[in-house]
Structure 1
Amino acid sequence: MSGTRKDLAESDDSQCDSGIESLRSLRSLPESGPETPSAPKENAESERAYSAYASASLAEPLPLPGVSEPEYSGPRSPLPHAGPLSAQQLEALTYISEDGDTLVHLAVIHEAPAMLLCCLALLPQEVLDIQNNLYQTALHLAVHLDQPSTVRALVLKGASRTLQDRHGDTALHVACQRQHLACARCLLEGRPEPGRGPAHPLDLQLQNWQGLACLHIATLQRNQPLMELLLQNGADIDAQEGTSGKTALHLAVETQERGLVQFLLQAGAQVDARMLNGCTPLHLAAGRGLGSISYTLCQAGADALLLNVEDETPQDLAEDPLTLLPFDDLKISGKPLLCAD
């Protein structure tokens, strides 16, 4: 079990809390709290301390909502009857550790689907959106740990997809950073049950504290399938990031991945989009000596004579200005011939 937490810490020790140790304090739960489904009644005090893990009865795969029986044949955990809870039961189920983790956080961390299903059936929707000391919800953690079935179950029960952690990241930002395509798909395409939360689409232009929207992050990660998924779900291809005004096309140039540049141009990116300092993607490509990318941008209609705030054109920044000069007397299919590498 420490391996799961260790993986989280090694991937980004600033992103995930240290709530695993807080399981020791679960012994302080009220004696009359509900028992974990399938947990033996003997040695109740000991079992309560480890209710989120170390039980074979909690190793069942999480049922996937909407998946037909032939596609999913694993064992299922029946949802408990969601009857009225006593004050002590509600107090036990809404327990919060010293790291701010609820039982829902801990069930996700320790991959305990039976405990998670119990919480989803019994707890008020507001409890699902409690943020721990790092402002992470259970949904953030499920994405961190690449648990698409858990993400789907939480979204179905109305867990907020718009809450931001201490870095301003929503669960979808995290999915893009971690390149968890299946989790991103669940977040974008999942819909909560009636009465469980807003069914409107996510705001894909929402920026984290670094000024990055999800498409910007996916571009920096050079993940074209993820970029395509975001664009299909309404991401603004020309949205500017919040620090210097770069669009996804500017960022694709900076990755020096010609394939990403071509993909964005074919998807309709504005070839002469301006940064806050007036630079276009061609300014960046020419200034970095990226001849093949400069040629691709010029083929798409980039203007080599646009001025930035320092009165520089892409031609001024190019190592060989001739590579950006069109020759009007030579044309192929009606387009001017450009010098290439």
Structure 2
Amino acid sequence: MIRNYSTREYREKLYDDLHVRLSNILILMCSIFIASIGLNMNSTAVVIGAMLISPLMTPIAGLGFGLAIFDTRLIEQSLKVLFTQVLVSLLVSALYFWISPLSYASSQLIARTSPTIWDILIAIAGGIAGVIGSRKKEANNIVPGVAIATALMPPICTAGYGLAIGNVRFLFGALYLFLINCVFIMLTNIVGTKIMMKKSALSSFKELNIKMKIGLISLIVLLVLPASYSAVTLTMNEKRKQEIKQFVGKEFANYTVINQVYKSKKNELVLTVVGDPISEEELETIRQKQASYGIESVQLKVNQVNNSQKLDSEMTKEFYETIDKYIDQKLSEKDSQKDLVKENEADKD
């Protein structure tokens, strides 16, 4: 029993699926609306639910397959559906964020504005799985899984957020991530289709003219270079944060650090500490130890707070704000521990 679509059968299936139907548009609008709410409320579960019902994968797969067999009609149909879906998605998400009372950028939104090389690797791996899963005749969870892993919905919603609030960084950063996912899923579909076609009667990837091949290669390079730079920057920043954490934890172990801010643009570390006064000689000794942590270039600034020190009005305000945050954090940690103890006691009863 044949469980996979042949190349010709799969092409006919794509032709049947690639239409701008009202039902598909309504499903897309619902999924975009749900994803926007999830991103706005910082809820991962809601965003995942939206990705499961999203129809965005079909035109991307159709575009890759059309390029692989050089079917211009299928390519045009896929582009038409994809363009319509992207336009509807942007409008719906922008409308939601425009009327939403919550205008702050959640961590879910911020995470979709700086793509890295890892997003490309995810798109490639997801595209390979998608090629295999989409050819199976029986129902499977591969294609929905690819939709979740490659995360096509959140970038579009984030771009809509940027459009709604007029933030160019969010708009173009999210669209860049969406383009990465689309292009590399499409490319894996081209290669996967070529491998799976074998001796098909349909035309092959070799029929792509030289201009189209150059165009695809140029697009890959243009997408990979910024993502690679972003990945290197992200890795260096994370390394720097870990080095600073170790430095502060060890060298200021005898003090209560109530505020710690690293200003990457100025390459400056500002600490607010409570405890015995630190002399300039002691501070200079601490600064000399920065090299052993790999942060010798970081400018260390220490704001000291002790009983004998008189604070100006600006520093007093900043100090009390910092103290309030510190107390709230500690109370929150204690409440969490109490709740955990009560849950354990209830389980024992």
TM over 0.5: same fold? no
Give TM-score, length-normalised by structure 2: 0.28
TM-score, normalization by structure 1: 0.28
Structure with the largest fraction of helix: 2
Bigger relative contact order (CA 8 A; separation at least 6): 2
